Structure 1
Amino acid sequence: MKSIVLLSMLCSLIWSSVDAQILKPVKWSYAAKKTSATEATIFIKATMEKGWHIYSLDTPEGGPVGTSITFTPDRSYQLTGSVQQPKPASKLEKQFGVEVKYFENTVIFQQKIKLQETQASAKGEISFMVCSDQQCLPPSMIAFNVDIK
């Protein structure tokens, strides 16, 4: 009986240790707003935990993996221009030895589209890397889907 209790406690300890090591310091949210009957803007928001940052859409060669937002082609809309971002902060990143542009706390990326139909669904992927002063997590890719009504 003692060995069963001990084994249960050990498994519980291992499971909580593994679960605690999964870091997800960035939360993503999506929205769209029609600006006219034939145009809309898609908003992609990243909210980082304190002490973490993601890199801008334009990162230098030899630097970290920058944020990349790609849209899956669809007949219901057409992209107008490229993804827009606010002005990022910049600093010399010791880990990479280059000047990098990054965002802390919150950033909202925007993509204007021209609607080909009254309703659309914009799908795509976001590729990004998140770092703190102590560590960088491996690059991540997430899918998104935004309904435009």
Structure 2
Amino acid sequence: MRKYICLWCMMCCCAIMVSAQGNDPVAWEFSSRKIADQRYEVHISALVEYPWRIYSQHTDEGGPLPTVIAFEDNKAVELQGVVEEEGSLIEKYEEIFMVDARYYQGKVDFVQQVKVDKEIPQDLAGSVTFMACSDAQCLTPQEIRFKVRLH
């Protein structure tokens, strides 16, 4: 337990120092694409500067903070399946977390298929929570809110 507290304190100190420098290595884009009648793909795309990385939605317990995508309720929009990840997934043991970590560098798309109740433009809102790390440091987790027009 003491090891985890020390690790957490070190990460917080590094994050405070880095955030004071205004470091923002991840750019996000949000879009939709019609794939059939009343069906769309919502793309939540991250462009991650080298040498930074963001983590998969699927991480082992005790590992880094996974990327979490949450959608607000909209009675006219039905989520179809789970959020898929499209990119070059890297799985590597990370000493700082003492687990195999799954992460992306460069570009990754998180894709959610949806079905709309009516063939009129709808908005789908939500948030993405993520943590960016390099080999030297991790930044404070961030939450980015978004709204995508389905048309």
Q: TM-score, normalised by structure 1?
A: 0.84
Q: Which amino acid aligns with 1:49?
A: E
Q: How far off its partner does 1:119 sit?
A: 1.3
- The answer to whether the 8 Å contact 1:85/1:110 transfers is yes
Q: Which moved more, 1:51-60 or 1:113-122?
A: 113-122
**What residue number does 2:28 align with?**
28
Aligned length: 132
SS at match of 2:32: strand
Distance (whole Å) between structure 1 residues aligned to residue 138 and residue 79 of structure 2: 32
1:98 has 2:99 as partner: yes
Q: Which amino acid aligns with 1:140?
A: Q
- Which entry has the higher C-alpha Rg, 1 or 2? 1
SS at match of 1:95: coil
Question: Please, what is the CA RMSD of the aligned residues?
Answer: 1.5
**What residue number does 1:108 align with?**
109
Counterparts in 2 of 1:104-143, with a 5 A limit?
104-117=105-118, 118-143=120-145
Distance (whole Å) between structure 2 residues aligned to residue 43 and residue 99 of structure 1: 27
Greater than 2 Å deviation, 4+ residue runs: none
- The answer to whether the 8 Å contact 1:55/1:128 transfers is yes
- The answer to whether the 8 Å contact 1:55/1:65 transfers is yes
Structure 1 gap ranges (5+): 1-17
Structure 2 gap ranges (5+): 1-17
Q: Which amino acid aligns with 1:138?
A: T
Q: How far off its partner does 1:122 sit?
A: 0.7
Percent identity over the alignment is 36
Q: Which moved more, 1:81-90 or 1:102-111?
A: 81-90
**What residue number does 1:58 align with?**
58
Q: How far off its partner does 1:35 sit?
A: 1.0
**What residue number does 1:46 align with?**
46
Q: TM-score, normalised by structure 2?
A: 0.83
- The answer to whether the 8 Å contact 1:126/1:141 transfers is yes
Q: Which amino acid aligns with 2:48?
A: M
Q: How far off its partner does 1:76 sit?
A: 2.1
Q: Which amino acid aligns with 1:94?
A: E
Distance (whole Å) between structure 1 residues aligned to residue 24 and residue 54 of structure 2: 12
